[in-house]
Amino acid sequence: MARTRTTKAACVSLGLLLACVPLISCTSGPVVEAPHFVEPDISTFVDAAHELPPELVRALERDLGITGPEYLAAGAALSQANEVVQYLATKGIDPNDVYLDGVVLKIADPNANEIASAVGAAIGTPFEATPPAHAAVSAGGALDEHRSTSAEAGNFMAGMPIGGVINGSFQTVCTAGLNGHNVGFTSYENWILTSGDCVAENPGQFYVSDVTAAGSSASQDAPLGAYKTGGVFNEPGGIALIGVPFIPLDPNWVNPSPNVATWSGGTGAPEGGTPVPVRGTKAPVVGAPLCKSSPVSGWTCGQILAVGFGQNGNGFTNYRSFTASVCTLPTETGAPGMSAEFFVGIARSSTWDVNCVVGDQSAPQRYTMFLSYEAVVAGDTTIRSVLNGQWEPAINVPDPVLTSAVPLSGKCQISGTILAGVGYKVQINGYVHGEYKKFTAPASSTVDGTWVITADLDPGSNYQLSAWAYTESFSAVSTHLVPTAC
């Protein structure tokens, strides 16, 4: 993470990029030191890659020519690169000139050697996208095997279809982008984030859309609630929030899940597909791999091509957007764009049509535009900034791992690990002189994947360990014994 300190620096001439040594302000006062990018080790992601859905692994090989470990390592690289890109923007470097080449962060500026060295980046030539690996597939070739897709409302995930009655018949309208929780809104505890065009095309009642066989018509499944109205909601090219009623005694109750669905071929997916957990949210970085899940084309992958540009007009909210060479087809607007296990944005519009075979397309350039959830540069108008803390994403928080509990100065120092790159709050609830108290490691202290809590817990008593993201997403709770030595 970037750190602040107060200092004075001697000013020297370093071309257009820098004015000081070190890379800080020339004036006294709080300044931000350069964050440093460390290239992830792909080999450390081999075990985690075994948990990826086979359908996603096939899409990575088909569309990008990369493996599961390479994909997860690139996601970790994107996570680190977010802060570096924001920092470099304050030094006058365009975020589109900072890109990932695999897990190597590069700056496309031959005069940026000094600052590149400071942030752990290399100097590279201007970014060029990797041609889609499936470009050579013959016209009419299938992207994937036929799929049987049944969207089970009882475990409703991002990437599942939403529909409504249009002109007297039920139709699939769009795709769920991300489930989330109410913070400042009323009416519903849970809201589904999707594209504003979804409501524009169907301003009536929404339902889970169920497709039980390849090529069959969608059928109406469990009802969803009303959509949020007013303000920025339901603008063409914008966002929509659709409520989820809480009806626990109803067998058709829609139960939102902090995961992205996998639509596997011919196996009754998503019930038969391994979901991908949403571990956090990140901003897009040029060159990073991006994959989206949706009911028509399943998992499709590509590279992020450009970031940080406006995409709307006519008086509507001018969201920052990004493009990626990811295939998205009709009714898949709103679909989640994921980089590894990080949610990056929702699909807004696409130049793909008919199918995802490049050879079948009439135009040479194929891409999908996504709305960014997080800001590439501080101050960007994004989904998160527009929601302004009134809605938060549903995060699948990993369980914190306990590695040590030892006495320290009359207290107990308890430490462990958790997924790096996000920043989860880790909490311990235990007894101090018979009184039940809680102790927390703040999110800012766990970004490196470690956590430490020092507490004067009663020796021999039990304590509970858990982790949190935002206010409504939390891990499982585990129980442990305070060592008598503490």
Q: What is the 3-state secondary structure (H, E, C) of 404-442?
A: EEEEECCEEEEEEECCCCCCCEEEEEEEECCEEEEEEEC
pLDDT given at position 188: 77
More confident residue, 288 or 211: 288
Separation CA 337–CA 317 (nearest Å):
21
Residues forming a β-bridge with 260: 158, 276
Q: Is residue 28 pLDDT above 50, yes or no?
A: no
pLDDT given at position 202: 75
pLDDT given at position 8: 30
pLDDT given at position 175: 92
pLDDT given at position 267: 42
Buried b (16+ CB within 10 A) or exposed e, 444-476: ebbbeebbebebebbeeeebebbbbbbebbbbe
Q: Is residue 245 pLDDT above 60, yes or no?
A: yes
Helices assigned H by DSSP within 91-146? 113-119
Separation CA 177–CA 189 (nearest Å):
17
Placement of tokens 């997403």 in the chain: 473
Give SS3 for 384. Answer: helix
pLDDT given at position 12: 30
Residue whose C-alpha is closest to residue 284's, from 351, 350, 183, 368: 368
Average confidence (pLDDT) over 413-420: 96
CA angle, 323 then 329 then 335, to 5°:
65
Residues forming a β-bridge with 481: 462
Residue whose C-alpha is closest to residue 112's, from 102, 97, 100: 97
Helix axis angle for 54-63 and 68-90, nearest 10°, is 70
Q: What is the mean pLDDT of the chain?
A: 83
* Cβ burial, residue 401 (10 Å; 0-12/13-18/19+): middle
Q: Residues 410, 438: contact at Cβ < 8 Å?
A: no
pLDDT given at position 214: 41
What pLDDT band is residue 254 in, cutting at 50, 70 and 90?
A: confident
Q: What is the maximal distance between C-alpha atoms in the chain?
A: 73
Q: Is residue 177 pLDDT above 80, yes or no?
A: yes
Beta-carbon count within 10 A of 206 CB? 25
Which of 215-224, 326-335, 389-398 is predicted least confidently? 215-224
In the chain, count H helices and then E strands: 6, 35
Amino acid 380 reads D
pLDDT given at position 237: 83
Q: Is residue 266 pLDDT above 70, yes or no?
A: no
Which of 308-312, 398-402, 459-463 is predicted least confidently? 308-312
What pLDDT band is residue 167 in, cutting at 50, 70 and 90?
A: confident
What pLDDT band is residue 107 in, cutting at 50, 70 and 90?
A: very high
Q: Which structure tokens are listed for 62?
A: 């088909």
pLDDT digits (tens, 9 = 90+) for 369-388: 999 999 999 999 999 999 98
pLDDT digits (tens, 9 = 90+) for 317-369: 889 999 999 998 888 899 999 999 999 999 998 888 777 776 555 555 788 99
CA distances to 164, 231, 287 from 317, in Å: 26, 10, 27
pLDDT given at position 326: 93
Comma-separated ranges of CATH 2.60.40.10 domains in the chain:
401-481
Read off the DSSP letter of residue 136.
Answer: G
What pLDDT band is residue 187 in, cutting at 50, 70 and 90?
A: low
Which of 79-93, 175-189, 204-218 is predicted least confidently? 204-218
Q: First and final CA of the chain: distance in angstroms?
A: 32
pLDDT given at position 129: 79
Helices assigned H by DSSP within 180-330? 196-201
Residue whose C-alpha is closest to residue 426's, from 447, 406, 456, 446: 446
pLDDT given at position 10: 31
Placement of tokens 């399943």 in the chain: 298
pLDDT given at position 297: 84
pLDDT digits (tens, 9 = 90+) for 7-27: 333 323 223 222 333 333 334
pLDDT given at position 229: 84
More confident residue, 304 or 150: 304
What pLDDT band is residue 97 in, cutting at 50, 70 and 90?
A: very high
CB proximity list for 322: less than 8 A, separation 6 or greater: 284, 304, 305, 306, 307, 308, 309, 344, 345, 369, 370, 372, 376
* CATH, domain 401-481, list 3.30.565.10, 2.30.30.60, 2.60.40.10, 2.40.110.10: 2.60.40.10
pLDDT given at position 138: 26
- Predicted TM-score (pTM) of the model is 0.87
pLDDT given at position 391: 93
Read off the DSSP letter of residue 227.
Answer: B
Give SS3 for 357. Answer: coil
